[in-house]
Homo-oligomer: A and B are copies of this chain.
């Protein structure tokens, strides 16, 4: 049965590490729905968070293959019970002067920031849980979304546990 998974992978900063990792998923026909890579507290390491939907058996096989890659320091599957997930979105909405107040109202309720405004548009920075982001998008969609950029999901374990534990 297909389910949604989040993998957190600590890797060495080598040229091509991302190609090797995403290639493993592609060769199995596994579709990555979101991926984010950023620097970590250690400048020699980066951390990749991958959101994907698929078959658990195939995922286990991919995890085994990932752990054999020389650039991969650690892999951890984040589980919703003991991890925090967030995503950042930049949303450009159609908004003339008449509609602006309605948009600002929704933004205030969701605790988002307006990062740019023009005569016909408003651009919003929204960071939050996936469910909250989805709720925001479905409301703001009524005004007409012109452009939407998302970072993909990122996540971290709750409490004292880190990826190295």
* A23 nearest in chain B by CB position: B19
Query: Which residue of B has the minimal Cβ distance to A89?
Result: B38
A162: which B residues are within 8 A, CB to CB? 92, 146-147
With A88-B154, A90-B84 known as contacts, the answer to whether A38 contacts B127 (CB < 8 A) is: no
The minimal Cβ–Cβ distance linking A21 to chain B, given in whole angstroms, is 9
Can you report 21 A-B residue pairs in the complex whose CB atoms are below 8 A from each other?
A: A13-B31, A15-B26, A16-B23, A18-B26, A18-B35, A36-B37, A36-B152, A38-B87, A38-B89, A39-B148, A41-B148, A84-B115, A84-B125, A86-B88, A86-B90, A86-B115, A92-B156, A118-B160, A123-B158, A146-B162, A147-B163
Q: Is A77 an interface residue (CB 8 A)?
A: no
Bound state CA distance, A87 and B154, in angstroms?
11
Instruction: Tell me which residues across on chain B come within 8 A of A88, comparing CB atoms.
Output: 86-88, 127, 151, 154
Cα distance, A32 to B28, chains bound together (Å): 24
User: Complex Cα distance A123/B162, Å?
Assistant: 11
Describe A's contact surface by its main secondary structure.
strand
Max count, chain B CB within 10 A of own CB: residue among A23, A25, A38, A148: A38
Q: In the complex, what distance in Å separates the CA atom of A147 from the CA atom of B148?
A: 29
Query: How far is A95 from B90 in the complex, measured between Cα atoms in Å?
Result: 32
Contact residue among B34, B39, B127, B147 (Cβ-Cβ distance under 8 Å from A33): B39
